[in-house]
Amino acid sequence: MKQFLIAPSILSANFACLGEDIKQVLSAGADIIHFDVMDNHYVPNLTIGPMVLKSLRKYNITAPVDVHLMTKPVESLIPKFAKAGANFITVHPESTNNLSITLQNIRDCGCKSGVVLNPNTSINCLDYILDKLDLIVLMSVNPGFGGQCFISSTFDKLKYVKKKIQNSSYKILLEVDGGIKLHNIADIALAGADILVVGSAIFNSLDYISVITSIRKKLDKVSKIINYI
């Protein structure tokens, strides 16, 4: 059966005890840590840098880390996050003057490369970079802050991009980020997502095991549907 990946976004975590908070969500069944990097320039918020990731690796956080760079410029941060321990590094087309070269630089640094498309970003750019991609991220909120509502038009975009990947010869994961809750996660998975970024729905819960178990049950039902189809 299809295996979906749950990626808690630490933007919603308790930064006073970040290492322990991350260990708890991983113990509760999460797969990937989603690491939101904001520069108060490309997006109107300021978060964390490579030193935090390096510290988490030293704290024995060994799970895959998906670094989402919401910065402009972005190029100089790529080798820093790669050295700090990133597994995936994703960038926005608007953050670089040459997206193809930037994606190749990510791979040259030893990480899997990805592009992030905002709700108002055209998907046409994918036609020229599929060979450089390991991951496509569709933002289902406008980037900058956690806790926003899912933008429903993402469903059509998600289905279209999924079909585009399936029609290509490339093995590219499809991730959705923003506004994912228990009530809509199954529909998002069924529409084509492979990785589901979940922030406040997990970290605002008092019981990580309970909420991640509930998410996993919903995703398992979707897997059975897909397998049946």
Q: Is 36 a catalytic residue?
A: yes
Distances (CA, A) of 210 to 19, 79, 176, 178: 20, 37, 22, 21
User: Looking only at Cα atoms, what is the longest distance across the chain?
Assistant: 46
Active site residue 66: no
Give the burial string for 146-179 (b: 16+ CB within 10 Å, else e).
bebebbeebbebbeebbebbeeeeeebbbbbbbb
* Euclidean distance between CA atoms 32 and 53, whole angstroms: 13
Which residue in the list 31, 66, 177, 194 is annotated as catalytic? 177
Given the residues 36, 39, 66, 134, select the one marked as catalytic: 36
Residues with active-site annotation: 36, 177
